[in-house]
Amino acid sequence: MVIRILVIILFVLGLLGSSRASNVPAVFIFGDSLVDVGNNFYLLTSARPVYPNGIDFGNGDHHPSGRYTNNRTGFVINMNQQIRNFENTTKQIISMIGVSAAQNLLRESLYVVVIGSNDILWDPLPEFDIPAQTVYVETLISTFTNQLNRLYSLNARKIVVTNCPKIGCIPYEKDAHPLVGEGCYTPANDLAQLYNSQLKVILPELTENLSGSTYVYADIYMAIQTIVDNYVSYGFEYPDSACCHLLGVHGALIPCITISKVCPNRSEYVFWDAYHPTEATNLIVANYFMDGGSNFISPINIRQLLNS
């Protein structure tokens, strides 16, 4: 799986207020560019979020934040390597505070895993080869299950896992497949739904089989779909176009780069670039996951998880 490492939950922590959940000792976040805090900018990769990424972050004129969004976020550290990095971090924590205290800290911390989008977006198989697609998704889920088990073995207990967004409706897919018109690219959405349906099954099984654990399913597919379907009521004007744009009907045929044009009011756009939401969208999703009902996050929301 091609994935990257830290979005939404950083916003979420700001929503905790006076709740007892504000005592969460740490937040460990694994995933792709939806939640990258700037690691990509310092890696030897072509996927470097140059300015105007981070245009609203307050780093000074033309200084990128290293994040794929206009402000805060949320090729290439894969998930297995991220877990190895985390294991090294746990060893450092143990060396500083001892085994018992480290175990308590790790088990009371929040873990957020945001992966899957790249595996669906860049699926290498023929789009209408359903048997091959099914095997592909089953392989992804099997690999991911092993990775989640590995996190548990490293004392992760409160784990939020997001599903795959509605990939077929992002600006890139709409520009890459112009025949969809005002609609979305159905094959990508079908594959995302197949992945999501299997993910939703394995998380309760992990919770049941791994003592003391709670795996929470965060439905970012539904969250983004709700925003796009009701964009006017959320204060947006552009539900399917990239704010940072250069070429394409939806401005998404070329990634956000230095010569791209940037919309003057980022809060009017659901999407920052060809693939990633704006901060305004991320904040709405954060609220869904923090205090939302089972239509967005199940079996409990993040506030309930942290207070459990």
Whole-angstrom distance, CA of residue 110 vs CA of residue 302: 9
Candidates 32, 33, 123, 219; catalytic one: 33
> Pick from 71, 11, 65: which is nearest to 39 by CA?
65
Q: Where are the alpha helices (DSSP H) in 50-163?
A: 79-97, 99-108, 117-121, 130-153
Candidates 32, 36, 119, 273; catalytic one: 273
Cβ–Cβ under 8 Å, residues 12 and 288:
no
Whole-angstrom distance, CA of residue 238 vs CA of residue 249: 12
Candidates 61, 129, 276, 308; catalytic one: 276
Coil, helix or strand at residue 125: coil
Cβ partners under 8 Å of residue 275, min gap 6: 33, 68, 117, 121, 170, 171, 172, 252, 255
Cβ–Cβ under 8 Å, residues 114 and 35:
yes
Instruction: Give yes or no: 276 in active site.
Output: yes
For 166, phi then psi, to 5°, come to: -80, 75
Active-site residue list = 33, 273, 276
